[in-house]
Amino acid sequence: MTTETFAHLTLAFGLLGNAVSFMVFLAPLPTFYKVYKKKSTEGFQSVPYVVALFSAMLWIYYALLKANAMLLITINSVGCVIQTGYICFFLFYAPKKARIECLKLIVLMIVVGFGLIVGLTQFCAQGANRVMIVGWICLVFALCVFVAPLGVVRQVIKTKSVEYMPILLSVALTLNAVTWFFYGLLLHDFNIAIPNVLGFTFGVVQIILYFVYKNKKPVCDEKKPELEIKNIATEEQKIQENKDQEIIDVVKLSALMRSIPVVSKPNENNNITVEDHLVLEPQVPNHTIEVAA
């Protein structure tokens, strides 16, 4: 295979990687549409978007130090713009506590973390050593990012539900890993190729799990009838307690009524009779007025 053929293949895989990565960057759009409709971020977290921004900035810095990596710069520049938009959108609709946490994470990763990497590599390393150090940092961070979906895999196995693992996103991430692996391989850049081997592996695992569990009944659904029975029993107990309380209140009211003195009313034969109901006699003072003759 000639050098020209290698160059054409590298360009082809680089362009394909740019296209697939761009589609992956757009994957969170439905999530932010829900946020826009509800005017609240609810339980969504800002961590994935801040991490993605940090990763894009790190790869741009690496590509600037390394020659012949223009396609890395193009896609990660687009990624920086998109992730920044997501973060700004999140900050606009997030509650105060989530907004503060997001800002802390931005300062920690983008300002402090990325700033230290750039500062230390610029002043403490030179030439090829600088490229190698930044490349290893990119490699380790990319491996950490690819390991992150293990939490989702564990959740799928535990709940037997693929609700939180969309198949289209899994396929896109797998295809993305394949294209960037071959791009790095053709460039003889193992800092790009090696992390995508792990990304491809986890992508295939997710796709297999999807087809294994897509028709399975989730574990939570099996427990639903028991929860419903418990809820019904609890409601019936509350209703019975309310009825008992009503009976107690009636008894108390009856006892209270019996404790109220009943005013008797004399009849025509001066016999005292007790009426079935209360008779309130107005108390009129008896004043005798004497008129002088």
| pLDDT tens per residue, range 103-135 | 999 999 999 999 999 999 999 888 888 999 999
- Domain assignment present for residue 272? The answer is no
- Domain assignment present for residue 184? The answer is yes
DSSP class per residue in 136-201: HHHHHHHHHHHHTTHHHHHHHHHHT--TTS-HHHHHHHHHHHHHHHHHHHHTT-HHHHHHHHHHHH
Q: What is the dihedral of CA 58, 62, 63, 68, to 10 degrees?
A: -160
Q: Which of 75, 76, 30 is nearest to 53 (CA)?
A: 76
pTM, rounded to two decimals: 0.69
pLDDT recorded at residue 62: 93
Q: Which of 135, 138, 120, 178 is nearest to 55 (CA)?
A: 138
DSSP class per residue in 219-263: HHHHTHHHHHHHHHHHHHHHHHHHHHHHHHHHHHHHHHHHHSPPP
- Domain assignment present for residue 87? The answer is yes
- Domain assignment present for residue 167? The answer is yes
Q: Which of 83, 23, 40, 29 is nearest to 58 (CA)?
A: 83
pLDDT recorded at residue 276: 45
- Domain assignment present for residue 239? The answer is no
What distance in Å separates the CA atoms of residue 61 and residue 66, rounded to the nearest whole number?
Answer: 9
- Could you tell me the CA-to-CA distances from 32 to 47, 52, 83, 144 in Å, in that order? 14, 16, 12, 25
Structural domain count, the chain: 1
pLDDT recorded at residue 218: 65
> What tens digit of pLDDT does each residue of 242-282 get?
555 555 554 444 444 444 444 444 444 544 444 444 444 44
pLDDT recorded at residue 28: 85
- Domain assignment present for residue 208? The answer is yes
* Residue numbers in the chain where pLDDT is lower than 70: 1, 148-149, 164, 218-293
- Domain assignment present for residue 276? The answer is no
- Domain assignment present for residue 157? The answer is yes
Domain span at residue 149 reads 3-214
